[in-house]
């Protein structure tokens, strides 16, 4: 007899124990994939039995993967470093890049899987080949549930990663996902949304960073745009551009953080209108479809996850992987360290880190 031919496609599903990844696994099993569930332990408190219970209920094999060291190295260290430099990082994007779509993909390869899958609300579509291109390209699109769309966090993905990734929730709403979980009697059907960053359950970013690098946290001056000292801050890690609370300054106008000067350990405060700017520089850019930007393009750009996209022009710079983004109208609180993501209607063109 010849060797057995694998007829069903094998997929490794990242299972967090939440309703989204649980339903993603259930839907793929329904579509006749050979599904393997994997929980990635990335943080001290990330041990959870919900994913295991769901895997048992769905009767699929289940593994646990200890990624705490790589998470600490790639995500936590960077998070602390960025705050120390006066920037406001987005750890979910780095986690996608180095953990979910890299470390998990390596494990999937070991398990001889054809795909990895996640519970993200986004869509991956293959375009048909044209002209000289033998193979089609993969495009990343917003999820159809506008309130839940997570494409903003996925601009770092490459053609190679998109080719081997499935996102079964991209075409359905959150409401429908909860319904499917109920129909399948999954105990996580009504589990509440997790809002905060997974490794900071109380949302106190400053305290988290201070605990890890206490020697770096020093009080310093709060100054106005003219350079006059108007107060004292307790350490730049506790502030982000656009912030109003925690300034402790009595002034006839509400004051906001308009910039952070790491070199002089200073916070620059100003009025609301001083928060607006119509251009930014972004580094570490990734263009999903083209790899590289050769000439200026018109896009809709988002400067934070819950931001309305705004019309802008992206201009390539001479420096490697850097672009200038010029907005048609000024934007409020453009924050270094956050991601700027470029869209053409539903499609994610790419993005980068605001410098």
More confident residue, 68 or 246: 68
pLDDT tens for each residue of 179-232? 999 999 999 998 888 767 888 878 889 999 999 999 999 999 999 999 999 999
Model confidence at 117, pLDDT cuts 50, 70, 90, reads very high
pLDDT tens for each residue of 31-65? 999 999 999 999 876 556 899 999 999 999 999 99
Residue 92 designated active-site = no
In this predicted structure, the answer to whether residue 2 has a pLDDT above a threshold of 70 is: no
pLDDT tens for each residue of 296-336? 999 999 999 989 999 999 999 988 899 999 999 999 999 99
Residue with structure tokens 């009767």?
A: 59
Pick from 50, 7, 6, 10: nearest CA to 28: 10
Phi-psi group of 333: left, alpha or beta (phi > 0 → left; psi -120 to 50 → alpha; rest → beta): left
pLDDT tens for each residue of 261-279? 999 999 999 999 999 999 9
Judged by DSSP in three states, 268 sits in strand
**Total Cβ atoms within 10 A of residue 271:** 14
Active-site pick, 19, 80, 95, 186: 95
Judged by DSSP in three states, 269 sits in strand
Active-site pick, 65, 70, 189, 198: 198
- pLDDT for 202 equals 82
Pairing of strands 297-302, 310-316: antiparallel
Least confident of 119-133, 149-163, 318-332: 119-133
In this predicted structure, the answer to whether residue 161 has a pLDDT above a threshold of 80 is: yes
| Residue-averaged pLDDT of the chain | 92
Residue with structure tokens 């295991």?
A: 52
Separation between Cα atoms, residue 205 and residue 196, nearest integer Å: 10
Residue 80 designated active-site = no
Tokens of 2: 């010849």
Span 159-186, average pLDDT: 96
Spell out where the chain has E strands.
Answer: 10-14, 34-41, 62-66, 115-117, 122-126, 138-142, 165-166, 220-223, 229-233, 256-261, 266-270, 276-287, 297-302, 310-316, 323-332, 339-344, 347-354
- pLDDT for 1 equals 41
- pLDDT for 49 equals 82
More confident residue, 248 or 145: 145
What percent of the chain has a predicted confidence (pLDDT) above 70?
95
More confident residue, 195 or 351: 351
Which of 280-312 are b and which e, b meaning 16 or more Cβ less than 10 Å from the residue's Cβ? bbbeebbbbbeeebeeebebebbbbeebebbeb
- pLDDT for 176 equals 97
In this predicted structure, the answer to whether residue 172 has a pLDDT above a threshold of 50 is: yes
Model confidence at 135, pLDDT cuts 50, 70, 90, reads low
- pLDDT for 248 equals 77
CB 86 within 8 A of CB 260: yes
Separation between Cα atoms, residue 105 and residue 117, nearest integer Å: 10
Does this model's pTM top 0.85? My answer is yes
CB 14 within 8 A of CB 117: yes
**CA neighbours within 13 Å on the CB side: how many for 267?**
30
What percent of the chain has a predicted confidence (pLDDT) above 90?
82
Separation between Cα atoms, residue 187 and residue 17, nearest integer Å: 10
Judged by DSSP in three states, 259 sits in strand
- pLDDT for 230 equals 93
Separation between Cα atoms, residue 183 and residue 350, nearest integer Å: 37
Domains in the chain: ranges and CATH: 10-183 (3.40.50.620), 218-270 (2.30.30.280), 277-354 (2.40.30.10)
Which of 161-198 are b and which e, b meaning 16 or more Cβ less than 10 Å from the residue's Cβ? bbebbbbbbbebbbeebbebbeebebebbebeeeeebb
Element (H, E) at 159: helix 159-163
């Amino acid at each position: 007899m010849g060797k057995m031919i694998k007829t069903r496609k094998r997929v490794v599903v990242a299972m967090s124990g939440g309703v989204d990844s649980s339903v993603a696994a259930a839907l793929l099993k329904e579509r006749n994939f050979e599904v393997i569930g994997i929980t990635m332990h990335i943080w001290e408190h990330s041990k959870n039995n919900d994913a295991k219970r769901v895997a048992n209920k769905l009767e699929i094999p289940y593994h646990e993967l200890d990624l705490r060291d790589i998470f600490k190295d790639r995500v936590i260290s960077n998070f602390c470093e960025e705050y120390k430099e006066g920037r406001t990082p987005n750890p979910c994007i780095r986690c996608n890049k180095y953990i979910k779509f890299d470390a998990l993909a390596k494990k999937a390869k070991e398990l001889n899987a054809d795909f990895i899958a996640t519970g993200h609300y986004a869509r991956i579509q293959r375009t048909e080949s044209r002209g000289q291109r033998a193979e089609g390209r993969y495009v990343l699109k917003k999820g159809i549930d506008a309130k839940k769309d997570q494409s903003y966090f996925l601009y770092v993905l490459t053609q190679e990663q998109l080719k081997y990734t499935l996102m079964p929730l991209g075409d359905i709403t959150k409401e429908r996902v909860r319904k499917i979980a109920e129909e399948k009697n999954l105990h996580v059907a009504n589990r509440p949304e997790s809002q905060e960053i997974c490794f900071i359950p109380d949302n106190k970013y400053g305290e988290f960073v201070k605990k890890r690098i206490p020697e770096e946290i020093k009080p310093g001056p709060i100054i106005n745009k003219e350079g006059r000292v108007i107060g004292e801050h307790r350490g730049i890690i506790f502030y982000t551009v656009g912030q109003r609370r925690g300034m402790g300054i009595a002034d006839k106008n509400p004051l906001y953080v308009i910039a952070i000067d790491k070199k002089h350990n200073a916070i620059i405060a100003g009025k609301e209108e001083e928060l607006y700017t119509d251009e930014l520089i972004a580094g570490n850019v990734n263009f999903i479809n083209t790899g590289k930007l050769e000439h200026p393009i018109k896009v809709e750009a988002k400067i934070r996850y819950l931001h309305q996209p705004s019309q802008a022009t992206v201009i390539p710079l001479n420096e490697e992987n850097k672009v200038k983004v010029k907005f048609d109208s000024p934007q409020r609180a453009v924050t270094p360290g956050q991601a700027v993501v470029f869209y053409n209607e539903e499609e994610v063109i790419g993005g980068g880190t605001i410098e």
